[in-house]
Structure 1
């Protein structure tokens, strides 16, 4: 029982640290949570040799196509991604 409590406490500490790191990253990059998640999903797709279309990315993020267009516009403008036909 004590080991289980230690594991749960370690997981909680990890989660708190991860959230703080994401906050610092968002702040330093001037990006929102969805923007960072989008980049993460795009990096994962690229590493797997796959192409992620805007609709696929929007589905993963749980946002509408209009919101996806706005998000992509921000990422393109900031130089993080580029559009390709």
Structure 2
């Protein structure tokens, strides 16, 4: 697995792979720090991120889609949503177009906590991005989208290969 890298491209690819791994671990540690500070477990944090991402896309997530995203049973997702709602992190709203449908939204209290915690990281991120041209940022964006798709495809393959572990209750 750890062989000598002979060409400049092989060395660069190895460095980028190492950088991605370090970034993933560091980002996960920041997320866990936020979760620990607010009494959240890793699944709670992943749920909040999914709710936030869906809202940013302008397509609020339903409990069913959240359960699919997190690979949780309907009972587990209901308990998770109840817990996050009681803690003031999310809220449930009825869809105005289809009153039978429930949509999940980031609650004001939860958004304020996240904003306070992540604001310094956002400022650091802005500083880094300011060092890159628009063209460079487009390349970075394309790279990140494709790497994320690759990781999700691998995650889904692993889930499919281990059906007995695919739907675990959350704590």
Shorter-chain TM band: 0.7 to 0.9
Candidates 32, 36, 43, aligned match of 1:23: 32
| Bigger helix share | 1
Q: Which runs of 5+ in 2 are unaligned?
A: 1-9, 95-171
SS at match of 1:84: strand
Root-mean-square deviation (Å)? 1.4
The C-alpha deviation readout for 1:20-59, integer Å capped at 9, x for no partner, is 2122121112101111111111111112222321111111
Distance 2:61 2:70 in 1: 12
Equivalent pairs counted in the alignment come to: 85
Q: Which runs of 4+ in 1 moved over 3 A?
A: none
Q: Which runs of 5+ in 1 are unaligned?
A: none
> What TM-score results when the alignment is normalised by the length of structure 1?
0.86
Match in the other structure for 1:62:
71
Distance 2:83 2:37 in 1: 16
SS at match of 1:39: helix
Deviation at 1:16, TM superposition (A): 2.1
> What TM-score results when the alignment is normalised by the length of structure 2?
0.46
SS at match of 1:82: strand
SS at match of 1:71: helix
